Amino acid sequence: MSIAAIATAINAKITAALAPEPPPTFGMGMDDLFKEEAPPRIVYVPGTEKIGPPQARGGDGVKSPRALFSREVQVAVHLWGADVSATEELLVMMTRAFQAEMFGSYAMRSGVWNPEGSTSNKAGELLVVQMIWGIPITDAPELFATLSTMPIIPAIEP
């Protein structure tokens, strides 16, 4: 799974949780961080990454291929709401989405409200949450069967 795939899955869960209200705008990376858009808004900015040995999580080789290495990716998640309460609600929805999608493979380390030098403070209240995403680097799925075409044998009459 990639950083973008995780963000896409989280965004879908947040969008579903907000329905029928319009979803936040979502972004990925520094370029999206500096766009001037109205809240609600969530932008994921990947930072440093620690790569280590695989963590024993098991794997059946198909749906869950074995891990080759583990990645701990630091991601700064920028949450903008119209006010503090709206931003806190985004934080709660995001946390629920991460729990449903990644179970225990994430951590929230710290948060800063309206950090100095931040962009778009005029567009609502900003909370920057430092997270760690656990993402395994996995082996390719194993194939257990090969599909082939078999001739249809007509019924045998007695």
Question: Could you tell me if residue 146 is inside a domain?
Answer: no
d(CA 29, CA 46): 7
d(CA 112, CA 43): 15
CA distances from 129 to 12, 56, 136 (A): 19, 28, 22
Residue 60 has pLDDT above 60, yes or no: no
Inter-residue contact 93 to 14 (CB < 8 Å): yes
The chain-wide mean pLDDT, for the chain, equals 85
More confident residue, 148 or 8: 8
pLDDT of residue 140: 80
Domain count, the chain: 1
Question: Could you tell me if residue 54 is inside a domain?
Answer: yes
Question: Could you tell me if residue 151 is inside a domain?
Answer: no
106's enclosing H/E stretch is strand 106-113
Question: Could you tell me if residue 154 is inside a domain?
Answer: no
Question: Could you tell me if residue 69 is inside a domain?
Answer: yes
More confident residue, 61 or 112: 112
pLDDT tier at 104 (50, 70, 90 boundaries)?
confident
pLDDT of residue 77: 96
CATH code assigned at 105: 3.30.2000.10
Residue 61 has pLDDT above 60, yes or no: no
Question: Could you tell me if residue 74 is inside a domain?
Answer: yes
pLDDT of residue 56: 64
Question: Could you tell me if residue 64 is inside a domain?
Answer: yes
Question: Could you tell me if residue 149 is inside a domain?
Answer: no
Domain housing 110: 3-138
d(CA 54, CA 136): 7
